[in-house]
Structure 1
Amino acid sequence: MSSFSYHLESAKSLFDPFFIPTIQTILKGFSPSRVSEAALYSLQAGGKRIRPAIAINSYYANQNIPKPNTEDINLNNLLYLSSAIESIHTYSLIHDDLPSMDDDDMRRGMPTCHKKFDVPTAILAGDALNSLGFYLVRFINSNDANLLKDCLDYLHEGAGIPGMITGQMEDLEEEGKSGTSEYRKSLSRKERLLSIHEKKTGALIIASFLLGNRLRSDFKEREAKIKEYSKEIGILFQITDDILDVEGSAESLGKTPGKDANSGKLTYPSLYGMGTAKKMRDDSRDKAYSYAIELESETNQFFKGLPNYIAERKN
C-alpha cells in the first residue's frame, strides 16, 4: 500500500466510526422527524469522504495518523470539524440533485433524496445539514480565543455566499435557469467557467484543508502554501469531474452521466474540447504535486498522492 493510500484509509478509519454515530446522537436530541430520516439517508449513502480525509491529513501532515483516542482534544476537535465539512458537502449534493438545480435521480448509486422522499423533504433535509455543519463547530474545545472564529470564517467562505452558494448561482445562470447579472455578462466564457468552479467545487475543498491546518500550532506559517495547493486541487477536481461526466458510466459514477452536455453546462470539455481538457487536467495535477513538495515530508505523502488520485479516479 502506498503512503497516500495508507493515509487516506487511516483518515477514513478515524472518521467513519465517529461521524454517523455522532450525528445520530445529536439528531436524537431533537424531535423525531421525516427531515432527520432524510438527512441520515443521504449521510449514510456513503461517498469517498475525501473532504474529511483532506482535513485530517492537513492536520497530520508530516506525521502518521494515530489510532482513535477520546482523550485527545485536538483529535476530537478535528473530527467535529471534519463532520461539519461532510454534513455541508452532503447538503450541497441533496440540493444540487433537485429538479430546479441539476435534476438527478441517482446519487452514490442510490435514489437521490428527493426521489427517496419528496422535493420539500429534500429541501429541508439539505437545510438541516447546512445548519448542522455550523452547529458542530460549537463542540470545539480550545483555549485559543480565535480558533472558533477562524473555523466559522473558513466554513462560511467555503459554503456560503463567498464560495459554494455563488458558484451554484453562477452555474444556474450559465444554464439559463436564472437571470444573469450584468457583471457575469461582462466576463469571457473562460472567466465564467473558472469563477463557477473555484466557488462551487473549489471553495469547500480549500476550506477542508484550512480547517485541518488551523488546529496545528504552525498553522500561520503553512496557510499561504495550503491555499495555493488547495486551490489547484479544486481546479483539478472539477476538470476531472467534467471529463468523467462525458466518459464515465452510471455504474462507475453512481449518478447519471452525460447530464452536463444535455443541460448545456459550461464545462472544460465543452469549452476546450476533450483533448485539451485532459491536458489541462494533467497540467493541473503536476502543478498541485509541485506545491505538495513544499508541504510535507516523506512520513505522510497524502499531499503528494492526492493530485494523482483525483486525476485517475473513476467516480
Structure 2
Amino acid sequence: MAGTYPSSAEPLGRDELLDCYRKMRTIREFEERLHVEFARGDIPGFVHLYAGEEASAVGIMHHLLDGDRIASTHRGHGHCIAKGVDVVAMMKEIYGKIGGSCNGKGGSMHIADLSKGMLGANGIVGAGAPLICGAALAAKFRGKGEVGITFMGDGASNQGTVLESMNLAAVWNLPMIFVVENNGYAEATSRDYATAADSYVDRAAGFGIPGVTVDGIDFFAVHEAAGEVIRRAREGGGPSLLECKLVRFYGHFEGDAQTYRAPGELEDIRANRDCLIAFAARVTESGVIRQAELDAIDQEVLTLIDRAVDEAKAAPLPTAADLLTDVYVKY
C-alpha cells in the first residue's frame, strides 16, 4: 500500500482544507442533481440521498488510504465519493449503464470499488459490520497498519449483526471503527421512540469498546475525533465507536413525503445546520481560505456533475450477454 497515513495531531494545511471542501461540495451537488434526475424517471431502482451528512464522510475518510477498507449503507454515495470512487463511474452505475462502477449491475445501493477500499454500499441494514470484521481481521494479519470502518445509521445500530460484530471486534482486538451516523430517524421512526439507550457510546462500552460522540455538522470535530480512533486502531489499540450527530436534507428515500418531520424542521436544518456553510464560514473568517476560492470549486464541481450526467445518459445499457458475467458460477 502506497502513501503515508495523515497525522491526526497536525492541523490541516490550506491545500488539505480545499481538498476536503471539494469532496464535500462534490457529494452535495451529486446528491442534489440525483434528486432532480430521479424525479424525471430516468433512474431505475431506489435512491437514498446523503446530502447534509458530508462532514461525517469527508472528516473520517481524510485519514484513510486505499488499503483501508470501508463498508457503507444503502445511503452510500457520500462514502464512495469521500473514499475516492470515480464520480462519472458512479453516475453511470446509478443509471445502470456500462462503464459504471459495477458495470451497471449494482445501482445506487450497491456501488463498490475494491481498488479504493470501498467494499460496497449495502441494501441490507447493518450488514456492513460483519464484513468489516473480516476486513479488519485480514488487516491485522497483514500487519501494515490498515483499518476497517463500518458505517451505519441509528436504526441499523439496533440490528443483531451490529451487536455481534462489536463483540467479535472486541474479542479479536480488531483494527476497526464503528461509525454511527445518527440523523435522528430510522427511516420514518424517531430514534427517541424506538431506541431505549440515549448514548451509543454507552452501548459500545458494554462490549468493552471505547467511544466518542461528536457534532457531525462540525467537520473539524469529526476530523479530530476520527483521527484519534483511527490512530488507536492502527497502533493495535483495537476497535472504537464514533457517533456523529447530524442531519439529512432529504427523506429516507426519494419520494418520501417526510410527514414524520415537525413543521419547519427541514427549513431550519437547511438554514442553520448545513455543514458546508459552517465549514466555509470557519475557513474564510480565519483568513486561511478566500471565498472566491470556494466559489471557484463550486463551479468546477457543477461542471463535473453535468459531465457525469451527460456521460451516464449517453452510455449503453448492459446486454443480455452481460447477464451471467461477474457471478460466482457461470451457468
Range into which the TM-score falls when normalised by the shorter chain: under 0.3
TM-score w.r.t. length of structure 1:
0.27
Structure with higher strand content = 2
Structure with higher helix content = 1
